[in-house]
Amino acid sequence: MLIIPFAEAKAEIRVLNSRFIARLFPVFSQEEARKHISEVKAANPGAAHNVPAFIIGGGKNRLEYCSDDGEPAGSSGKPLLSVLKGSGLGNVLIVVTRYFGGTLLGMGGLVKAYSEAGRAVIGVTRRAELVFTDRLCFTLPYHYYDKAKLLLDEYSAFVIEENFGEEVFIKADLAKDASADFIGRLKELSGGKLAPRKENGEPRSRLV
């Protein structure tokens, strides 16, 4: 099970008048991560540094990246990545924006400040499970609708669309390891009349 951020988060600390603003994002690709990094830099033109670190994926496909963004080598990006690695989160980006307060912090001070900023934003981050899904599409008569809805709720389905015409059309994403069982239950309650069309769904996040 891959644990990811449920939503974006933000935290700020101050160290000897320097502001360290940590922003955390759920990300699903390197391109998405770099887009957020660029947006943070563009939104903070007066900042001294915008230090990023991200982890995408898991297992053998895990991708890790960090940069010191002009801070002394090893003083910011690597400590921030180390905090991320210890958090248990995947598919996550942190960018720490520093507004210089006029006092040099030294190598040890920078390591501590960036690490604390990373831990601060992780501490306010809601966590979710990454769920890989199948997308099911099916049409049903109205007299099956209430039972189908209860079944969708039972399987924690992500309902994308409901269209009420002569019959009801439903489009929903279900966890891949549950979709086959759901289809069987749906066929059972309809006497074999309901057979959803299945395709790949979107990765989803579910609060844990």
Domain boundaries, the chain: 3-129, 132-207
Answer whether 0.75 is exceeded by the pTM.
yes
132-207 has the same fold as 3-129: no
pLDDT computed for residue 59 by the predictor = 67
Q: Is it true that domain 3-129 has CATH number 3.90.1150.110?
A: no
Domain 132-207, CATH: 3.30.70.240
pLDDT computed for residue 99 by the predictor = 96
Which of helix, strand or coil describes residue 134?
strand
In degrees, rounded to 5, the angle at the alpha carbon of residue 67 between the alpha carbons of residues 35 and 116 is 100
pLDDT computed for residue 191 by the predictor = 87
User: What are phi and psi for residue 99, nearest 5 degrees?
Assistant: -105, 115
pLDDT computed for residue 142 by the predictor = 93
pLDDT computed for residue 193 by the predictor = 84
Q: Are 66 and 56 within 8 A, CB to CB?
A: no
pLDDT computed for residue 179 by the predictor = 93
User: What are phi and psi for residue 10, nearest 5 degrees?
Assistant: -150, 140
Q: Are 49 and 120 within 8 A, CB to CB?
A: no
d(CA 80, CA 96): 9
User: What are phi and psi for residue 144, nearest 5 degrees?
Assistant: -100, -5
pLDDT computed for residue 166 by the predictor = 93
Which of helix, strand or coil describes residue 187?
helix
- What tokens does 83 get? 């905090």
d(CA 50, CA 37): 8
Which of helix, strand or coil describes residue 128?
strand
Q: Count the alpha carbons within 13 Å of 99 in the hemisphere toward its beta carbon.
A: 11
Q: Which residues of the chain have pLDDT under 50?
A: none
Residue identified by tokens 């520093």 is 98
